[in-house]
Amino acid sequence: MDLDTTIVAVSSPRGNSSRALLRITGDNVFESVKRLGIVPKNRQLVTGRLDLPEGSLPILCLTFPASSSYTCQDTIELSIPNNQFLISSVLQRLVEETGGRLAGAGEFTARAFFNGRMTLSEAEGVCASISANNDGELRGAALLRKGTLNGLVSPLSENISKTLSLVESGIDFTDEDGVVAITEEHLLGSIDQVSSAIQSILNGKISMATLQHLPHVVLAGKPNAGKSTLFNALLGYKRVVVSAVSGTTRDVIQEPVWFGNKEAKLTDIAGFEDPNNSLSASVQRSAKRILENADVVIWCVAPEQPPPARLDNTIIVHTKSDLCNGSKQLAVCAISGEGVEQLKSTVENMLSSATSPSEDALAILPRHEQYLQIALASLLEAKDNFTVSELCANSLRETLNALGSITGTVTPDEILGEVFSTFCVGK
């Protein structure tokens, strides 16, 4: 991987924002950009004008010296008007004047890794943060990004490294009478300690893929039962059209919603009724399929409507409580907000089994789990062969390599290529 050539990229996503962010990193880039009219000031945001063939472009410029930059190389960030023609022109000029090239996927973070700014698992946390689709994924990615997994695995690597060195020393002194580099008790104790720690990580793990799928909460009921009004109340803003006319909701509408400390996907579906045409029949079939796959069903019952047969995953909610004088166990008025917080608490309790990343339950990637399993299997082999030093040492070395593939200390080039190729350009 080329780590010396200056690289240039757009680091902001496509969209309709007024500004775009361009990033340049490499050795001595501060001098190179002066020819374009940019006068960098370390760690200061300054205004300037960029000299282009088309004219002078106003810019904002922020510079970071190698000692304090993300990549451990001199880095410049330029904020320019978000116009694709201008962006292309600026990129071309930056490449020409710096003698650099356009960056590939993940190259900025790859340089941060290779230059010692972060570990491999922390770099993967950066990628996972970028691609997160919900708060659960974001929290799991944040744990990776701040080095929680690396903090657990690195001491295990150090333990095995020391044990391996003692076992290999024992092989070297095998002909020396009375020389014992490591006792059997010490060797087995070290293997058991690391095995137990790895098993604890695996037992408490949460797959990042699991976090991609939020628990599914569905609002159901008869037409005009107040589902859409309640949907807006739970969401906190007006998302769906509310009408006194029955059957207003036809399309399935979904939004992420927090129920206390549990995030879920809230779905508003069409009211259940006897279909009177092919379109209505299709809508009813779609609603039933969604209901069957729900983790929690909030069944809305308006005044004078009969409640449904109670199901294990169903909460019966009596809506429009302002129109009914009767006392109901769980009644809400979505307009005033009465009973909404109680409903959220009830849903949260039903979602108590939903996974959530924490320091004790790490969200890890499939690659991490694979190498933890390899390390555990190698330790078991080492324990089985503890009386044969050569075989034991070989198994401990495989353990060390597997753990190193997580932290990045002994990672093969092909694994590194696979990790950083999943990034966006400019990251």
Name the residue ranges covered by the structural domains of the chain.
Answer: 7-118, 122-208+360-407, 216-350
In angstroms, the CA 94 to CA 197 distance is 49
In angstroms, the CA 185 to CA 171 distance is 17
Q: What percent of the chain has pLDDT over 70?
A: 83
Confidence of residue 21 (pLDDT cuts 50, 70, 90): very high
- How many Cβ atoms are within 10 Å of 355's Cβ, its own excluded? 16
- Residue with the bigger pLDDT between 82 and 36: it is 82
**CA dist list (Å): 77 to 23, 101, 111:** 5, 16, 16
Tokens of 339: 């009973």
Q: Which amino acid is at 269?
A: I
Distance of CA 289 to the CA centre of its chain: 29
In angstroms, the CA 225 to CA 303 distance is 8
Model confidence over 314-350: pLDDT tens digits? Answer: 888 888 887 765 556 788 888 888 888 888 888 888 8
In angstroms, the CA 100 to CA 207 distance is 39
CATH architecture of 216-350: 3-Layer(aba) Sandwich (3.40)
Has residue 387 got a pLDDT over 50? yes
Query: Is residue 273 a contact partner of residue 248, using CB atoms and an 8 Å limit?
Result: no
Query: Is residue 137 a contact partner of residue 212, using CB atoms and an 8 Å limit?
Result: yes
**Over residues 98-126, mean pLDDT:** 88
**Over residues 37-52, mean pLDDT:** 81
- Report CA Rg, the chain: 30
Has residue 286 got a pLDDT over 80? no
Distance of CA 297 to the CA centre of its chain: 27
* Residue in the structure block whose two tokens are 């039933």: 288
Contacts of residue 304, Cβ cutoff 8 Å, sequence gap at least 6 = none
Tokens of 391: 């075989």
- Residue with the bigger pLDDT between 156 and 133: it is 156
Q: Which CATH superfamily is domain 122-208+360-407 in?
A: tRNA modification GTPase MnmE domain 2 (1.20.120.430)
Contacts of residue 37, Cβ cutoff 8 Å, sequence gap at least 6 = 48, 49, 50, 51, 56
Has residue 179 got a pLDDT over 60? no
Q: How many residues does the chain have?
A: 427
**Over residues 92-118, mean pLDDT:** 89
Topology of the domain covering 7-118: Gyrase A; domain 2 (3.30.1360)
Instruction: Report CA dihedral (136, 140, 145, 148) to the nearest 10 degrees.
Output: 150
Closest among 22, 97, 96 to 62, alpha carbons compared: 22
Tokens of 154: 């690195």
Q: What is the pLDDT of residue 319?
A: 85
Q: What is the pLDDT of residue 280?
A: 67
User: Sign (positive/negative) of CA torsion 345, 347, 348, 349?
Assistant: positive
Has residue 421 got a pLDDT over 70? no
Closest among 14, 192, 24, 19 to 94, alpha carbons compared: 24
Query: Is residue 103 a contact partner of residue 7, using CB atoms and an 8 Å limit?
Result: yes
Closest among 207, 205, 211, 209 to 135, alpha carbons compared: 211
- How many Cβ atoms are within 10 Å of 327's Cβ, its own excluded? 8
Confidence of residue 223 (pLDDT cuts 50, 70, 90): confident
Q: What is the pLDDT of residue 49?
A: 85
Has residue 174 got a pLDDT over 60? no
User: Sign (positive/negative) of CA torsion 423, 424, 425, 427?
Assistant: negative
Q: On the CB side of 370, how many CA atoms lie within 13 Å of its CA? A: 5
